[in-house]
Structure formats: C-alpha cells, structure tokens
Amino acid sequence: MSNFDPVPGYQTYQQSSDPDRSARRQAATRRTALTVCTVADIAAGLLVLWILLFLLDANSANVFVEFVRGTANWLAWWSQDIFTMNTEGLRVVLNYGLPAVMYLLIGHGISARLNRV
C-alpha cells in the first residue's frame, strides 16, 4: 500500500466525473488567455498611436488626440522620465515605447502560460 493512494471510494484530483468539465475548463482558460492578450495589445496599440501622433505633430487641441495622450499617460505613468533626452521626439519614443514593449511581453507571456495549462 502506498501513502499516495487515495482512500478507496474517493475521487482523485486527476480524475473527473464529468468528461465535459475538462473541455469547459480548457475553453475558459483559452478565453482568459485571449482576453489578457487582447488587453495587452490594445494598451500597446494606444501607446504606439500616441508616439505616432506626437511624431507627426498632431493637433493637441483635438479631442481624439487629447484622449489618446491622456490614456497613454495613464498607461505609462510608471515609465515617465526614465529617459531624459534633449530631443523631445526620442524622449517620447523611449518613454512610451518601453511600456508598450513591456505590456506586449508580459501580456503575451501570461497568455502563453495560460494556454499551456
């Protein structure tokens, strides 16, 4: 007799009484992974959009540009002024590009880990 054997009559964690339960759990995990990946892509996309709008000298009085700038500032609050350069364009690319890359790496990493389970 092994110490790892369950008591007779009890179900182990690896066994499931419902065969569809595993499929439902796998589908839910994939949906969660897709959601995490999508949120990371949207965050990175907004940051890249702000970089492009800044480099193309978009009208800062425009409501859309103001929204994108505010959202990018909110998403990149932790990386503001990491890089201080004399060139304003390079500073914006680095200070907003770093969080975009981090969101992509972390979001897709979490998504890949969830899909592996």
Tell me: the pLDDT tens digits for 32-91? 999 999 999 999 999 999 999 999 999 999 999 999 999 999 999 988 888 888 888 899
pLDDT at position 7 is: 58
pLDDT tops 80 at residue 1: no
pLDDT at position 6 is: 58
pLDDT tops 70 at residue 5: no
Instruction: Determine the average pLDDT of the residues in 19-35.
Output: 87
Half-sphere exposure of 30 (CA within 13 A, CB side): 6
- Tokens standing for residue 76: 């990149």
- Tokens standing for residue 22: 């595993």
pLDDT at position 109 is: 95
The residue assigned the tokens 């994108």 is 68
Residue 55 CB partners (closer than 8 Å, separation 6+): 89, 92, 93
Instruction: Determine the average pLDDT of the residues in 98-108.
Output: 95
pLDDT tops 90 at residue 96: yes
pLDDT at position 25 is: 87
- Tokens standing for residue 87: 């060139």
